[in-house]
Structure 1
Amino acid sequence: MLPNATRDHLQALRLSAMAEAWARQQTDPTMAELSFDERFGLLVDAEWVHRQNRRWARRLREAQLRLAASPEAVDYQVPRGLDRGQFQQLLTGQWILTHQTVLLTGPAGCGKTFLACALGHAACRQDRRVRYIRLSRLLGELLVARLEHTYPQALKAWAQVDLLIVDDWGEPLNAEQARDLWEILDDRYQRAATIITSQVPIAQWHGLFADSTIADAILDRVVHQAYRIELRGESLRKTLPPAAASGTTES
């Protein structure tokens, strides 16, 4: 088969990365030193890596993470109470497989959202469905869904996400908002993983709910047996260099 025809056929089979790698092999004299199996293995690897990168990119787009926080950019040197061993264990994603919860609390600017997004980024790399949303926006979307008679569909969509990141928990909730939050968290309990960030200490969460019964039910599912990361210290924004404004690094 002629070289151009081989490349065209690979492209037609949607093996674009393999086609490009094959074309590079034709102009690389060192390839003559490799066996057929070795050269073919390189072609397959090129296609595999290409597809994995596309899949990860799609997962990241769907996640809508607030910050482009990669796991490699997490700063463990800042004195804020972050346990490196615990966080790196969380980055493996095992807790997502067992449908557990991570609670990130601490004062404004200590990096809660960055760390939550870093965990979300790691989950995307592991080909898991991730979604980030602020609590106020989540409740707003559910209100609109109720008005548009799509409430059951909205609840189902949120329940199906492998990892839901609920950012900025802390405003008092009325009875309807508390019920909506209960519906989301109850659907996910022992079925999917959740991250919650808050400036409010966990001990004060009960007081955010107008209905103590709903508060008890929600906290029973969220707090018990959750991984807790309780940060402290000054705002990192006071010491961040200009490059960190993009949200790609903590230091």
Structure 2
Amino acid sequence: MLTEEDFARFKEFRCTAMGNKLREIIDDPAYDSMTFEEKVKEMIDAQVNAKVTNKIQKLNKAAGFKLADACVEEIVYLPERKLSKDRITRLASCKWVEDNEVVVIISKTGCGKSYVAQALGNAACRNLHSVRYRRLADIFADLNQARAACDGSYYERIDEFKTVKVLIMDDFMTTPITTENAIDLFEILEAREGTGATLIASQLEPDEWYLRIEGELMADSILGRTGSTARYLDLDGPNMREYFAKKKQEEEASTN
């Protein structure tokens, strides 16, 4: 008969989920009809699933999402949003990630582009892809700080943005960028071309990005790596913050 010391060894050997499943198999009569091999398979599957879940949680934490619980299952498909559930489902399958494509989400403020971007990032984590979510201004702030430190950390920071499998840049070109930061962005996009997937969320159309970039040549180079080959997702409709606030008020009123 197995003792608590025996079960403790599963944790010691880093097979906690397998040990928990074994305890369940022993205690639950529903497993009595299973063969020995079937019970072992249940234990192995439990351990594999636990490892995958742990990895997804680590990837999600490393991504730096502002909305950590954003997920495609919770996206609201109001008719006026012009948002196709079929298309979101296709993007959530992450074929675009595997093909190292660029996806651009464009909408006015409040229409939910940041939520959709992070939900797709969450889907990428579930598919075991590394993800980084940053506002473009925060990317530049990180790089500028590292550059000023003159300790080599700049190269580490920019390499992170170059090599992560999925880079999500939110609030893209909301404000003008300097020539130095335009060069940073070009270097990131150039390195990612064909090797990483990039998701851009912006309030502005690509022809308006041009006006935010110092230097005609650099603007052409950046736009050539984003605007021309990207998949576009245009969101419309109501202000989603106001929509959810109103919905919450209505739900609270109905329960009182």
Task: Give the match for residue 227 of structure 2.
Answer: 223
Task: Give the match for residue 49 of structure 1.
Answer: 49
Mapping for residues 88-237 of structure 1, pairs under 5 Å: 88-149=89-150, 150-169=153-172, 170-237=174-241
Moved more, 214-223 or 184-193: 184-193
More contact order relative to length (CA 8 Å, sep ≥ 6) = 1
Shift of 1:233: 2.5
Q: Distance in 2 between matches of 1:133 and 1:188?
A: 16
Q: How many residue pairs are counted as aligned between the two chains? A: 244
Task: Give the match for residue 249 of structure 1.
Answer: none
Moved more, 104-113 or 142-151: 142-151
Shift of 1:207: 1.2
1:77-98 per-position Cα deviation (integer Å, ceiling 9, x unaligned): 3421212222211110011111
8 A Cα contact 1:17 1:47, kept in partner: yes
Task: Give the match for residue 253 of structure 2.
Answer: none
Shift of 1:4: 3.8
8 A Cα contact 1:17 1:46, kept in partner: yes
Any unmatched runs of 5+ in structure 1?
Answer: 245-251
The residue type paired with residue 151 of structure 1 is Y
Q: Distance in 2 between matches of 1:159 and 1:243?
A: 40
Shift of 1:13: 1.5
Q: Distance in 1 between matches of 2:78 and 2:236?
A: 13
Shift of 1:227: 0.7
1:147-192 per-position Cα deviation (integer Å, ceiling 9, x unaligned): 1122222221211210011000121112112112112111111110
With normalisation by structure 1, the TM-score equals 0.92
The residue type paired with residue 85 of structure 1 is D
Any unmatched runs of 5+ in structure 2?
Answer: 249-256
Q: Distance in 1 between matches of 2:79 and 2:61?
A: 29
Task: Give the match for residue 32 of structure 2.
Answer: 32
Q: Distance in 2 between matches of 1:4 and 1:151?
A: 51
Query: Which 4+ residue blocks in structure 1 deviate beyond 3 angstroms?
Result: 1-6, 241-244
Q: Distance in 1 between matches of 2:134 and 2:56?
A: 19
1:94-146 per-position Cα deviation (integer Å, ceiling 9, x unaligned): 11111111101110011100000010000000111001001111001110111
Provide the secondary structure at the position in 2 that maps to 1:240: helix
With normalisation by structure 2, the TM-score equals 0.90
8 A Cα contact 1:69 1:117, kept in partner: yes
Q: Distance in 1 between matches of 2:211 and 2:159?
A: 28
Provide the secondary structure at the position in 2 that maps to 1:33: coil
**Inter-CA distance 89–31: structure 2 relative to 1 (3 Å threshold):** same
Moved more, 54-63 or 228-237: 228-237
Q: Distance in 2 between matches of 1:3 and 1:17?
A: 17
Provide the secondary structure at the position in 1 that maps to 2:224: helix
The residue type paired with residue 18 of structure 2 is M
